[in-house]
Chains A and B, each alone.
Chain A
Amino acid sequence: DAGVTQSPTHLIKTRGQQVTLRCSPISGHKSVSWYQQVLGQGPQFIFQYYEKEERGRGNFPDRFSARQFPNYSSELNVNALLLGDSALYLCASRSGTLVSYEQYFGPGTRLTVT
């Protein structure tokens, strides 16, 4: 079975631009979360979506937004990019059942803002 997939793999943007990152969860998984991993740090939670509804939001500015589609794939949008937004953006999926707690991560999208 395919794991979590993310696109693109790498992205270079200029300050002030906007970016959209995409994620497809493991087949059958209904929950998707987004994390930001800055170099040298652990991942930081950005959003969680379940059944197309936002279920949690981390301590990130309103420039960050996301959505989940009927097929459970998800997009993360970041507007007005800053140099500090340069990071590895990770998508994670979870089945969403009450007994499943582990999240499975994709390979990430490396965003560089210049």
Chain B
Amino acid sequence: AQSVAQPEDQVNVAEGNPLTVKCTYSVSGNPYLFWYVQYPNRGLQFLLKYITGDNLVKGSYGFEAEFNKSQTSFHLKKPSALVSDSALYFCAVRDSGGYNKLIFGAGTRLAVHP
């Protein structure tokens, strides 16, 4: 079965420090991977995607993600965290069943402390 795992319910980081939010996936075929962010009482905002090509993909608001095929991981990173980055982050993989269904992880709450 296709799935996404986000092993950390919450990640705490000090402002200015680098941050990593972890994601591993299980999918048949080539993975199409996505990161979204959700602020309180808001919908999901698209951050970045990996379809093919370079393993390091850059996205919105200074975020980037590293695709690692051997470890089936797609970790979200940012070199210097901001307090305003505090939000709920979701990793998702496109279902390989032939249409664009997204399978989401349970989410990781990022808390950036001043």
Contact = CB atoms under 8 A, between A and B. Distances in A.
A106 B51 contact: no
A42 B106 contact: yes
A62 to B, nearest CB: 19
Interface stretch (B12-20, B39-47, B64-72): B39-47
Interface string B99-111: 1111111110000
Interface in A77-105: 90, 92, 94, 101-105
Interface residues of A, number: 28
B103 A107 contact: no
B44 A43 contact: yes
Contacts of A90: 43-44
Nearest to B104: A42
Nearest to B51: A101
Contacts, number: 66
Contacts of A40: 106
A33 B34 contact: no
A95 to B, nearest CB: 11
Contacts of B51: 101
A33 B106 contact: no
13 contacts: A4-B43, A33-B101, A33-B102, A35-B102, A41-B107, A45-B102, A56-B97, A101-B32, A101-B34, A101-B49, A102-B49, A107-B41, A108-B43
